[in-house]
Homo-oligomer: A and B are copies of this chain.
Amino acid sequence: MAKGITKRSEDYAKWYLDVIAAADLAEHSAVRGSMVIKPTGYALWENIQRELDRMFKETGHENAYFPLLIPESFLKKEAEHIEGFAPELAVVTHGGGKRLEEPLVIRPTSETIIWSSYAKWIQSYRDLPILINQWANVVRWEMRTRLFLRTAEFLWQEGHTAHATEEEAVEETLRILNVYRTFAEEFLAAPVFTGIKTAAQRFAGAIDTYCIEAMMQDRKALQGGTSHYLGLNFAKAFDVTFQDEKGETKYVYATSWGVSTRLIGLLIMTHSDDKGLVIPPRLAPTKVVFIPIWQDDSQIAMIRAKVADITDGWKERLTFKVDDREQYRPGYKFNEWEKKGVPIRIEIGPKDIENNQVVLARRDTGEKMSVSQDNLFERVDKLLATIQQDMYNRALEFRDANTHDEDDFAAFAKRIDDPGGFFWVHWCGSPDCENKFQETGKATIRLIPLDESRKQEGACIVCGKPSHTRVLVAKSY
């Protein structure tokens, strides 16, 4: 256990904040509920952004930027939307020293301001589809905040697309759900269940909300991203119509979808340990750190030269650091880079140089191995891929070991508290039975699965009425 980091087994919530502090990712700011994302944390976000942005562009999307401030009246145009967001709004009442005629809200999400623009942009079927994404900050006045997981201001991307048909819009919603799943699995190294939210958990203004749900190490669920099929709700609110190929006037179908800096919370709670942060190699801002080890100062120059020699040509292909600070001992440095989650540490001392070798240490497992300096780049590159895959496999194993079918409500009520986990249970579809999960176990239905494997006949675990599918129930962040 690293100094200053509470053990997970002692206090998971405190451990989480300690890891963030030890890795220097973020901190609370002077403004209630807002955080400062420090350079190390922001570098992680930049890597997340870069990969997602590439995936969005590969699926035909373009970026744009819409205003931060939205007239209050816009939000009121979609009844469910304003009902959902009204309690969370930050409101600008004064500008340029004067009281505004109409208050402006800071966007909690941008459907309304964007669809007010789409009303101007869309006339004909030729203007469709519109496939736009925006990287932006949003504000939701949360009462209980936690770094990355829930903050009053957060950074995110929000996609807003417009389509001629329901079929196309639903297809888009699912395409993005798949992008999010792929990103979670291949980059965050986090297995996720995908599915659809119940009416109670749906985005305010959506017809259907799809989501990805991951299991944290305390066996709670974390919603990593949502993709909403919005139907005609926003087209009707903003009177967005188009002429189809036959000249008929029709409303436009909508989707919206987003992931946020919350993903950093997901990454931390999926992989990190009592020593600090563990970052999947594909998202690590620094993938490798060299720690030169010398017995006396006369060796420093020689080791530095050897490291420079070894890493010749690496710079363009892999981000690495050489920690040759003379005022700190190797043990101090090991600890520091472990806290920061750098995937591979490379130790090199005079003996290693004599033997044409280095010592590789894996952050994820702690394993150390002596390897030849020959083709070191290729060895490191391969090890990074192995670590990425191993991290995913371990997270998957953990999740699966803590995911159970459960048919007895009393047993569920007990197990959801201890040891916790994900429970596939039969549910009749009634809000009353849905509420029981909350009342009894502070748990919610995380999703109704899309895949056929869970479609089976059964009896609602609460009321015994017929159920046609199991749903995923868990406590959540």
Contacts and interface: CB of A to CB of B under 8 A. Distances in A.
Interface of A: 27, 29-31, 34-39, 41-43, 45-46, 62-71, 74, 86-97, 103-104, 106, 113, 116-117, 120, 132, 136-137, 139, 141, 143, 152-153, 155
A68 B34 contact: yes
Contact of A39 (B30, B74, B132): B132
A117 B36 contact: yes
Given A37-B65, A63-B46, A97 B86 contact: yes
A170 to B, nearest CB: 24
A197 B143 CA distance: 45
Contacts of A41: 64
Contacts of A152: 69, 95
Contacts of A106: 68, 92, 106
A67 B97 contact: no
A3 to B, nearest CB: 19
Nearest to A39: B62
A116 B63 contact: no
A71 B104 contact: no
Contacts of A116: 29-30
A325 to B, nearest CB: 11
A38 B64 contact: yes
Contacts of A120: 27
B90 A62 contact: no
A91 B94 contact: yes
B62 A42 contact: yes
A63 B285 CA distance: 12
A96 B29 contact: no
Given A65-B37, A90-B69, A30 B113 contact: yes
Contact of A64 (B39, B91, B97): B39
A90 B105 CA distance: 11
Nearest to A63: B42
Q: Which of A30, A35, A37, A41 has the most CB of B within 10 A?
A: A30
A222 B126 CA distance: 39
A137 B96 contact: no
B36 A139 contact: no
B117 A29 contact: yes
A371 B136 CA distance: 45
